[in-house]
Amino acid sequence: MTKQLAKRFGLAVFVLCGFFSGSAALEPPASKTVGNLRSAFNAESNARVRAEASSVKADGEGCHQVASLFRAAAKAEEIHAGIFAGLIRQMGEEPKAFLETPVVLSTKENVESTINTESYDAGVVYLGYIKQAEREGNPDAVRSFRWAEETEKGRVRLFKGALTHLSSRMKGTRDTLVCSVCGLTTEDFSTRRCPLCHVPRGKFILVK
């Protein structure tokens, strides 16, 4: 090999090495769905704490029916957090939640804030997570995000009803059913099967 050829060969090796090390740096990022599951677990865990605190506040204001609805919401959030935790563990990670002290206002304000938060979570956050999980071909994540999205949409309707009838919902309790599998929350006691995950009525938890 002449000196000239060796020089050119060395340059070619250098360029090729640079190309491959550069392509390693451009590898696709880790699954976004993994990050979304972590965020969802954290959000649902905090939502549970907020709903529990709001139920105590509602009872304190004598608004017992709304307190029942907040208790049902807390149970559903616990179920969602458990589903996300299970998926995170399947990926070999331990789920972590950073629980914040909830802001508790008047019951009317707590209901309004819940309507706003859950509308946004269902209509924006979970829809985005679902689309991403579909792109990544992760059916378990798609299903779990869908359950959370549908539950929150349905619960917005229940909280809107509670807001409309806040003054007439002061006395007694108002029983609610929560599906122990998907978290669906309903006041329809004629339900024979969960409309979301299709388990029989026996899988529903009665929340008073």
3-state secondary structure (DSSP) of residue 130: helix
User: Quick one: 170 or 205, whose CB is closer to Fe ion?
Assistant: 205
- Min CB(176)–Fe ion separation in Å: 14
- Looking at 121-186, list the stretches that DSSP marks H as alpha helix, in order from N- to C-terminal side: 127-135, 139-164
- On the 0-12 / 13-18 / 19+ scale of CB atoms within 10 A, 26 is exposed
- Looking at the chain, list the stretches that DSSP marks H as alpha helix, in order from N- to C-terminal side: 3-25, 32-60, 64-90, 107-120, 127-135, 139-164
Scan residues 181-200 and list those touching Fe ion (CB under 5 A): 181-182, 184, 194, 196-197
User: Quick one: 8 or 201, whose CB is closer to Fe ion?
Assistant: 201
- Min CB(196)–Fe ion separation in Å: 5
- The Cβ-side half-sphere exposure at 153, using a 13 Å CA radius, reads 13
User: Quick one: 142 or 184, whose CB is closer to Fe ion?
Assistant: 184
Scan residues 163-182 and list those touching Fe ion (CB under 5 A): 179, 181-182
Contact by Cβ (8 Å): 149, 36: no
Scan residues 33-62 and list those touching Fe ion (CB under 5 A): 44
Scan residues 135-164 and list those touching Fe ion (CB under 5 A): 148
User: Quick one: 15 or 187, whose CB is closer to Fe ion?
Assistant: 187
- The Cβ-side half-sphere exposure at 154, using a 13 Å CA radius, reads 24
- Interface with Fe ion: number of residues (CB under 5 A): 11
- Min CB(47)–Fe ion separation in Å: 6
- Min CB(81)–Fe ion separation in Å: 8
- Min CB(203)–Fe ion separation in Å: 7
Output the DSSP codes for 80-105: HHHHHHHHHHHTT------PPPPP--
Contact by Cβ (8 Å): 79, 178: yes
Kindly write out the interface string for residues 72-91 of this chain, putting x where it contacts Fe ion by CB under 5 A and - elsewhere: -----x--x-----------
User: Quick one: 37 or 182, whose CB is closer to Fe ion?
Assistant: 182
Q: Angle at Cα 25 formed by Cα 95 and Cα 29, nearest 5°?
A: 30
User: Quick one: 69 or 182, whose CB is closer to Fe ion?
Assistant: 182
Beta bridge partners of 204: 179
Scan residues 93-132 and list those touching Fe ion (CB under 5 A): none
- Contacts with Fe ion by CB under 5 A lie at 44, 77, 80, 148, 179, 181-182, 184, 194, 196-197
